[in-house]
Structure 1
């Protein structure tokens, strides 16, 4: 990943920035699903834990030809009035690196009970006794709200950006542009 593309949300009196980021992120996810040959990662240069938010800029990381290929698709259709795409540029030298990953809370006791019962081959009633005192965990991380393309349900995708580190880590990126192991340049 030696190039990047910043996509800046434009102020809009009708939509709060979080709504626009949800729509932009959702469109990017669909484009990455439709074009599985593309390896594109993302980061949020304005990411903040206090106040909690992703900011108004989505940064895409990838090879120059992959970012150019993505931009030739219609993935931004309907967003052109709400975003400003800067030029694709080379990553500056001597950058640090961060991990941008999805974090899921173990907050649904019902789901945990079903999974535990299946894993231990016991009844859900027995599994429930194991989880009765469990308090749902709440994440205090920035997130995007998405609609699942497969289940049609709404869900929140929580995103955690690590502290900058000196050395990059290699790994795979999913169709959200996130990874559990690979880092992206941070500058």
Structure 2
């Protein structure tokens, strides 16, 4: 149950943009969540906006007091301490609303989709192009952070969506990015 939270605020930096710092911070969080095999720590972005598109400058961690203490007992913020301000762990406000924070994945590259179809169905490039027109490419309009995949070695965009607010919490687990399709976090 997500009863407590910690805010991590990115500080202004003349050398690095907030987007760059958030990417580095989120990569470190992902690594430690994988290391801990934690499925009880969620995230939200209190300054999230779609127009202009940004996750903002605050990463909020949500969980139980014990889980957050375990996370913060590891020096996972090493190298980031000069770039962040960290609040003390606090209980979530009584009566807070709730929302799920989810990852959205998009099929954005028609070339990749066509190559995949050619391999799967044994089609020619022309057949794949006829089956997957250029209009199939989607332009996501959600805020995102860029991460580096440890598996493939490639950079990718992690698109984040805050789903509509709910009056009551929904229990569930979080993935290694602190996101969930079912579990909610307090929203305040």
* RMSD (CA atoms): 1.7
* Partner SS, residue 124 of structure 1: coil
Q: CA–CA distance in 2 between the matches of 1:135 and 1:173?
A: 31
What does 1:103-182 align with in structure 2 at a 5 Å threshold? 103-113=104-114, 122-125=121-124, 126-182=127-183
Kindly state the Cα deviation for residue 183 of structure 1 after the two structures are TM-superposed: 1.3
Contact kept? 2:39, 2:176, Cα under 8 Å: no
CA deviations on 1:100-145 (whole Å, 9 max, x unpaired) are 1111111122443455567xx6323355432135431011111001
Contact kept? 1:38, 1:66, Cα under 8 Å: no
Q: CA–CA distance in 2 between the matches of 1:60 and 1:123?
A: 46
Kindly state the Cα deviation for residue 54 of structure 1 after the two structures are TM-superposed: 0.9
Residues 110 and 31 (structure 1), Cα distance of their counterparts in 2 relative to 1, 3 Å cut:
same
TM-score (norm 1): 0.91
Matching residue of 1:20: 21
Kindly state the Cα deviation for residue 87 of structure 1 after the two structures are TM-superposed: 0.5
Q: CA–CA distance in 2 between the matches of 1:134 and 1:49?
A: 23
Kindly state the Cα deviation for residue 170 of structure 1 after the two structures are TM-superposed: 2.5
Q: CA–CA distance in 2 between the matches of 1:76 and 1:70?
A: 10
What does 1:6-155 align with in structure 2 at a 5 Å threshold? 6-37=7-38, 39-113=40-114, 122-125=121-124, 126-155=127-156
Which segments of 5 or more consecutive residues in structure 1 lack a partner in the other structure? none
Q: CA–CA distance in 1 between the matches of 2:86 and 2:157?
A: 25
